[in-house]
Amino acid sequence: MLYYDMYYLVLVLPMVILSMWASAKVNSSFKKYSKVTTRRNFTATEAARQILDSHGLQNVKIEAISGNLTDHYDPKSNVIRLSDSVRNSTSVAAVGVAAHEAGHAVQHAEGYSFIKIRNSLVPVANLGSKLSIPLIILGLVLMGGESLFGVTMVYAGIIMFSLAVLFQVVTLPVEFDASNKAIKVLDEGGYLYGDEVKDVKKVLGAAAMTYVAAAATSIAQLLRLILIARDRD
């Protein structure tokens, strides 16, 4: 019942389709603007380095990582890792991605509030994502026998799942802010021309949609679980 029901078809499936569209969109946008070379001929690594240094973050290292669009900032190691398709590229797409990751490093250095909130949620969100569904499934089975323990387990699972959802929701302003920081620096710092900045906005906007779609899917799944529990209660 958890995997095939009207709630899934009405609430979750549309969000899953949205997530698939967003993933395809970010890949197509990156591919398109990977063919547009920046006229100032900055590599993505050079752009990220310039942004970091301009914020006094000479201590943040930039390293290579294998894969495609596996770029990320690791706050524990204080390292930005740029993928094979990004680090040595002079394309608008690559520079935008690298600048975005540099934006995350700036957020951590400045103590951006939503970064602190997201970091505090990491342990409970990880626990919630692992245990919530098993608890809900087992609880629903026990609820069939009108077990108070089953009801307790279901709602405990829903609460744990809601913590994972909250983490994804808090991630949204973090990602949008990092992109805004990247675009502002690339524009005001003279790294890119005006039309190139617009192209970067399109790439980072497409990437942001993947986070919006993921959060929307999780919220829809949470609502579905609440409705299922209500119907079985």
Tens of pLDDT, residues 161-192: 999 999 999 999 999 999 999 999 999 988 89
**Helix, strand, coil % (nearest 5) of the chain?**
75, 5, 20
Both tokens of 61, joined, read 């290292």
Quick check: is 155 in a domain? yes
Quick check: is 180 in a domain? yes
**Domain count for the chain:** 1
Quick check: is 24 in a domain? yes
Quick check: is 167 in a domain? yes
Quick check: is 173 in a domain? yes
pLDDT at 3: 45
What's the N-to-C CA distance of the chain in angstroms? Answer: 15
Both tokens of 17, joined, read 């389709």
Quick check: is 136 in a domain? yes
pLDDT, one tens digit per residue, over 193-220 is 999 999 999 999 999 999 999 999 999 9
- Domain with 79, as residue range(s), is 6-232
Which residues lie below 8 Å from residue 58, measured CB to CB, with a gap of 6+?
A: 52
Model pTM score: 0.88
Q: Does the pLDDT value for residue 144 go beyond 70?
A: no
Residue 159's nearest CA partner among 220, 214, 104, 226 is 226
Percent of all residues in the chain with a pLDDT value above 90, rounded to a whole number: 76
Quick check: is 1 in a domain? no
Quick check: is 61 in a domain? yes
Amino acid symbol at 218: S
pLDDT at 1: 47
With beta carbons less than 8 A apart as the criterion, state whether 100 and 116 touch.
no
Which residues are marked as active site? 101
- Average pLDDT taken over every residue of the chain: 91
